[in-house]
Structure 1
């Protein structure tokens, strides 16, 4: 069920539990700012999630509250993951859902990296 991205951070969301080590994951990359791991329900041949280590509900929350170093570190981590996974050529989709209308289901900022096949149009026509 989509969430309201304006609500306060929920510290027991699934990604917070993954960051605390309470739920296992298949880690692809980790540094001081981000954790990247394979999605447990992949929607493409390659489906990696990248989450910041800070407690941010959405892209809006992150861009408003995170320190500059954390924002830069997270964005660099996303690029690093895409390059190291070999997704840059022939290409990939980067997606961040925000709020109810955007289809956000977990109240912790996360971006999806989809690749491995032609992905088609962004929205159903």
Structure 2
């Protein structure tokens, strides 16, 4: 698989995991019943953990095959964009002009980073 595909899969798993954490964390709880601990988690939280675990394993592979100074900002930027979009779509979070401006700055940074990598 090419690094582009690996980055895309990593970003989708990571962003999906974060959105699922938020969705699943709303119903999660830790209780003490009769001297014992009880952890209540739903499928969304478990799916989020699995997505994040898979993204971490993929991240280890990506980092071993590329420069960290390229991989880290690129992956963080892409994940930020996907979390922004996922939060608006699945969590109903508000999109404001200031948030859109920030997102545009991130995307411009991603293009600059990619162009700089091609030149080196």
Higher-helix-fraction structure: 2
Bigger relative contact order, structure 1 or 2, given CA contacts below 8 A and separation 6+? 1
Structure label with greater radius of gyration: 2
Q: What is the TM-score when the length of structure 2 is the normalising length?
A: 0.32
Q: What is the TM-score when the length of structure 1 is the normalising length?
A: 0.31
